[in-house]
């Protein structure tokens, strides 16, 4: 079997990250307790090393959408109500870097992570590695080496369309998703992902008893999709668009999660970006472990999960700290009648906000509100607060990653029922 050699190729297991619990978010629509759903901030190699004792051989599905080796820097769009056709007017924040000294450098980054994915997967588990023409052929050789060439289940091609400045080649409009199983007995729920037959196929079978050489498929049940998938990219007018760069469509993750995991399973994404995998996993009744190295990604994913009503924890690798700013005086929250309310000045800046309390340095969020992505109307002004014995606290999250926190004073922090 051919193998790939490059400097720095080693199955590197770094010292495990020390994880610090930063927030517990108690969403309304939660199926599982918050500690079952984890959003982790840090470098995924050290994070995976830290997760090894708890999850080695236990993850049912890993979806990985790493940087593609494009040698570009990606920015997040954080404006609201902007004209998408006028890029010079957009408000931008740091997204993530996909810059490398060389292909060797990139593969030396990818390889130890692929080795850990393999270790973390359960015997019935599946990896979906999402790349494009830049690096997919190299990754395929690496995965054949790590999983064994027989473990390649599918090379899925995700096709889409969109504008392109290319004039001397065909427009590059597909990504490659390499699907590898850990063992022979991998989960695959064919019936969960069936799609309708093409109307022409249905018409052909109805027109002639000889179609399909007499073998008539169950036309009502639909078919298992081919290994090429069309889903539109998340474009500027799509409701799910967060502004985080290279965000993947929820429909794509839905198919992957439905096919290769069961309700209650743990689904992981260690390059989670805006949190697409986490949001879809929560909606489909799966647990999730999702990680990203950038604060902007964790912030975006947190807001998305808040909108979805999920219960989850946010943890940060040691050395990374969330430092909310104090509330400006004009934003002072008011508390009355089992509610905490924000003035319009604060709401105008809020993409989302939360009421809760702080315990041992951890923000416990008991109620959340967020505006829909890109909406110009602010989120609701009041949130319930019923834990009368505790002093309450408020967190406010802006789209650009900024965060503010207000702590009610110990005395007067409790709300009296009338």
Ligand X SMILES: C[S@@+](CC[C@H](N)C(=O)[O-])C[C@H]1O[C@@H](n2cnc3c(N)ncnc32)[C@H](O)[C@@H]1O
Select 17 or 346, whichever has its Cβ closest to ligand X: 17
Q: Which residues between 27 and 46 bind ligand X (CB under 6 A)? A: 43-44
Of residues 23, 60, 276, 368, which one binds ligand X by CB under 6 A? 276
The least CB distance from residue 96 to ligand X, in Å, is: 3
Q: By the 8 A CB rule, do 376 and 384 touch?
A: no
Nearer Cβ to ligand X (136/272): 272
Smallest distance from ligand X to CB 379, Å: 22
Residues 390-409 binding ligand X (CB under 6 A) are: none
Asked if residues 404 and 326 have their Cβ atoms less than 8 Å apart, the reply is yes
Shortest CB 332 distance to ligand X, Å: 35
Q: Which residues of 354-379 are buried (b: 16+ CB within 10 A; e: fewer)?
A: bbbbbeeebbbbbbbbbbebbeeebb
Where does this chain touch ligand X (CB under 6 A) — which range of 270-278, 304-312, 371-379, 401-409?
270-278
Residue of the chain from 27, 34, 125, 273 that contacts ligand X (CB under 6 A): 273
315, burial (CB in 10 Å: exposed 0-12, middle 13-18, buried 19+): buried
Residue 297 lies near ligand X (rule: CB under 6 A):
yes
How many CA atoms are closer than 13 Å to the CA of 292, on its beta-carbon side? Answer: 26
For the chain, give the number of residues.
418
Q: Cα dist. 306→172, 173, 367 in Å?
A: 35, 32, 9
| Beta carbon of residue 195, minimum distance to ligand X (angstroms, whole number) | 22
- Tell me whether residue 242 or residue 366 sits nearer to ligand X (CB atom): 242
Q: Least separation, in Å, of the C-beta of 7 and ligand X?
A: 19
Pick the closer one to ligand X by CB: 1 or 237.
237
| 313 counts as binding ligand X under rule CB under 6 A | no
Listed ranges 141-149, 205-213, 265-273, 393-401: which one lies at the site for ligand X (CB under 6 A): 265-273
Q: Give the C-alpha separation, 150 to 63, whole Å.
A: 20
DSSP 8-state assignment for residue 198? P
Residue at token pair 């934003």: 331
Contact with ligand X (CB under 6 A): which of 22, 49, 51, 67? 67
Q: Considering the complex, what minimum distance in angstroms separates the CB of residue 253 from ligand X?
A: 8
Footprint of ligand X on 74-133 (CB under 6 A): 96
Identity of the residue, 269 or 357, whose beta carbon is nearer to ligand X in the bound complex: 269
* Distance separating alpha carbons of residues 191 and 314, to the nearest angstrom: 34
In the complex, residue closest to ligand X by CB = 273
Q: Which stretch binds ligand X (CB under 6 A): 159-167, 194-202, 293-301, 381-389?
A: 293-301
- Closest contact distance (angstroms) between CB of 387 and ligand X is 34
Beta-bridge partners for 407: 393
Which residues in 153-212 contact ligand X (CB under 6 A)? none
- In whole angstroms, the minimum distance from the beta carbon of 249 to ligand X comes to 8
List, in sequence order, every beta strand (DSSP E) within 305-361. 312-317, 325-326, 334-336, 339-341, 352-359
Tell me the pairing of strands 72-77 and 403-407. unpaired
The residue from 292, 315, 354, 400 that contacts ligand X (CB under 6 A) is 292
Distance from C-alpha of 395 to C-alpha of 346, rounded to nearest angstrom: 11
How far is residue 292's CA from residue 246's CA, in Å, rounded to a whole number? 14
Residue window 221-260: x/- pattern of binding to ligand X, with contact defined by CB under 6 A:
-----------------------x-xxx------------
CA distances 271 to 63, 70, 85, 417, Å, are: 8, 16, 29, 46
**How near is the Cβ of 63 to ligand X at its closest, in Å?**
8
Binding residue (CB under 6 A) for ligand X from 19, 38, 60, 65: 65
Which stretch, 62-70, 311-319, 358-366, 390-398, contacts ligand X (CB under 6 A)? 62-70
Query: Rounded distance, CA 217 to CA 205, Å?
Result: 9
Distance of closest approach, residue 177 Cβ to ligand X, in angstroms: 12
Residue 293 binds ligand X, judged by CB under 6 A: yes
Q: Which residues contact 199 (CB under 8 A, 6 or more apart)?
A: none
Residue 352: C-alpha distances to residues 34, 93, 120, 345, 386 (Å): 19, 17, 34, 14, 20
Alpha-carbon separation of residue 289 from 40, 96, 314 (angstroms) = 8, 20, 10
- Residues at the interface with ligand X (CB under 6 A): 43-44, 65-67, 96, 244, 246-248, 271-274, 276, 291-294, 297
């Amino acid at each position: 079997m051919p193998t790939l050699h490059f400097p720095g190729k080693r199955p590197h297991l770094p010292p495990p990250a020390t994880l610090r619990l930063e927030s517990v978010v108690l969403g309304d629509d939660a199926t599982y307790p918050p500690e079952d759903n984890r959003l982790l901030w840090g470098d995924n190699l050290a994070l995976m090393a830290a997760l090894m004792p708890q999850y080695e051989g236990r993850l049912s599905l890993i979806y990985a959408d790493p940087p593609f080796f494009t040698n570009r820097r990606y920015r997040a769009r954080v404006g609201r109500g902007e004209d998408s056709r006028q890029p010079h007017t957009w408000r931008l924040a740091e997204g993530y870097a996909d810059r490398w000294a060389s292909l060797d450098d990139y593969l030396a980054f990818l390889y130890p992570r692929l080795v850990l994915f393999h270790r973390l997967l359960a015997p019935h588990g599946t990896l979906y590695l999402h790349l494009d023409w830049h690096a997919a052929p190299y990754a395929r050789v690496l995965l054949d080496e790590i999983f064994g060439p027989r473990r390649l289940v599918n090379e899925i091609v995700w096709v889409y369309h969109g504008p392109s400045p290319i004039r001397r080649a065909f427009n590059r409009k597909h990504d490659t998703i390499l699907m590898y199983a850990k063992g022979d007995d991998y989960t695959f729920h064919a019936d969960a992902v069936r799609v309708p037959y093409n109307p022409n196929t249905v018409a052909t079978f109805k027109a002639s008893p000889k179609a399909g050489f007499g073998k008539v498929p169950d036309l009502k049940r639909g078919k298992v999709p081919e290994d090429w998938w069309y889903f539109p990219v998340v474009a500027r007018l799509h409701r799910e668009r967060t502004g985080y760069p290279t965000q993947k469509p929820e429909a794509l993750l839905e198919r992957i999660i439905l096919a290769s995991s069961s309700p209650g399973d743990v689904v992981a994404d260690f390059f989670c970006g805006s949190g697409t995998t986490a949001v879809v996993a929560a909606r489909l009744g799966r647990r999730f472990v999702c990680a990203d190295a950038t604060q902007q990604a964790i912030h975006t994913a947190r807001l998305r999960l808040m909108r979805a009503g999920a219960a989850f924890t946010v943890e940060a690798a040691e050395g990374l700290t969330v430092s909310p700013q104090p509330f400006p005086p004009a934003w002072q929250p008011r508390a009355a009648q089992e509610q905490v309310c924000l003035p319009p000045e604060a709401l105008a800046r809020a993409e989302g906000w939360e009421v809760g309390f702080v315990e041992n340095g951890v923000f416990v969020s008991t109620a959340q509100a967020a505006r829909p992505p890109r909406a110009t109307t602010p989120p609701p002004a009041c949130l319930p607060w019923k834990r009368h014995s505790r002093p309450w606290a408020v967190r406010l999250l802006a789209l650009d990653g900024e965060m503010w926190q207000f702590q009610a004073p110990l005395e007067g922090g409790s709300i009296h029922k009338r």
